[in-house]
Amino acid sequence: MKPLVFDDVTVRLGERVIWSHATFEIEPASITAVLGPNGAGKSTLLKVVLGLIEPSEGALRVLGAAPARGNPRVGYMAQSRHADSLTSITARDYVGLGFDGRRFGWGRRRDKRAVVERALALTGVTTYADQPLGTLSGGQRQRVALAHAAVFQPDLLLLDEPLAGLDLAAQAEIVDLINLIRDTTGAAVIVVAHDLNPLAPIVDCVLWIARRQVRCGKVDEVVNAAVLSELYGHPIEIFTTAHGRRVIVGLEEEFAHPHPHGHDHDDHVHEEPHSHLEEIYREETS
């Protein structure tokens, strides 16, 4: 069974089409990078999989079923926000909330301790599990967030910008950890990112969203000059450095010229980087 199948899915928020006609499949135990400009609808894609946003057309199957809110077999790591209330609670308590944070009532499940300890051990945060999150480094906090998301050893793990705000060394550590979680749990992992290079060593597939379209395939099937040029509607060049890093030239025009064709109202490309995310979040909570 494929962990995730999209069949001609279109998503609208209000009147606005975020992206349309997305058709792709994700393989078990694979790692897929979701790339594209800010506001293209990358986080929206995760929220559709989580059942928080309903597609306006098409259908998707998540672990063989219709998407459902709160499915424990789907793990989710939200984009980290810096000024939040998380800072005063410990890593262990935060991971514990991933385990039973939605349960009302008295008493707790007996296996809580064992499940939380397993997640802390898997992500290597046991040594600082009793420190407040506010005292941890960015990389340590992302490890804790991964423990929180993977506490049930989900079959599908959705990560929203796990590398954002980290230095290169910390990025490499988190990439190794994502790979380790995949190898240990057999989860299919979908990672939203804004740079392919740090993830390149572990990524099997790429899902690229731009101009309201979604392309998915093996890395080289998507990240090549012909496909990206067609997707963006203007020439894109890709150079590979001696160390195998890809330099993609032409994407920056997305930001410099929001309306390259005059008539084409790409209202998604010139937004503030996060306004779109917040809008989706507001949509969800309303």
Partner 1 sequence: MSFSELLSTSFVQNAFWAVTAVALAAGAVGYFVVLRRQAFAAHAIGHVGFAGAAGAVLLGLSPIVGLLVFCLGAGLLIGVGGANLDDRDAVVGVTLTAALGLGVLFISLYSGYANATYSILFGQILGVSLRDLAIVALLSLAVLVAVSLTYRPLLFASVDAQSAAARGLSTRAMSIVFMTLLAVTTVVAIQVVGVLLVFSLLVAPAAAAEVVTTRPRDALFVAVVVALFSAWAGLFLGVAFGGPVSFWITAIASTGYLVARIAAASRRRARRPA
User: Which residues contribute to the site for partner 1 (CB under 8 A)?
Assistant: 50, 52, 68-71, 76-79, 84-86, 88-90, 93-94, 97-98, 100-106, 130-132, 148-149, 278, 281-282, 284-286
Strand order in the sheet with 57-62: 16-26, 4-13, 57-62
CB of 207 to partner 1, least distance (A): 19
Q: Which CB sits closer to partner 1, 139 or 154?
A: 154
What residues pair up with 155 in beta bridges, in sequence order? none
How far apart CA 117 and CA 248 sit, in angstroms, is 42
Amino acid at the residue 278 = E
Of the pair 103, 261, the CB lying nearest partner 1 is at 103
Q: Choose among 202, 176, 86: nearest CA to 135.
A: 86
Beta strands in the chain (DSSP E): 4-13, 16-26, 31-35, 57-62, 74-77, 156-160, 188-192, 205-210, 213-218, 237-240, 246-249
Burial state string for 241-273 with b = 16 or more CB within 10 A and e = fewer than 16: eeeeeeebeeeebbeeeeeeeeeeebebbeeee
Q: Among residues 97 and 172, whose Cβ is nearest to partner 1? A: 97
Contacts of residue 36, Cβ cutoff 8 Å, sequence gap at least 6:
42, 208, 209, 210
Smallest distance from partner 1 to CB 61, Å: 18
Q: C-beta of 74: minimal distance to partner 1 in Å?
A: 8
Beta bridge partners of 237: 249
Nearer to partner 1, 18 or 133 (CB): 133
Nearer to partner 1 among residue 131 and residue 197 (C-beta): 131
Does residue 86 sit in helix, strand or coil?
Answer: helix
What is the C-alpha to C-alpha distance for residues 138 and 128, in angstroms, rounded to an integer? 13
Nearer to partner 1 by Cβ, of 183 and 284: the residue is 284
Q: How far is the CB of 145 from partner 1 (least distance, A)?
A: 8
Residue closer to partner 1, measured from CB, 98 or 162: 98
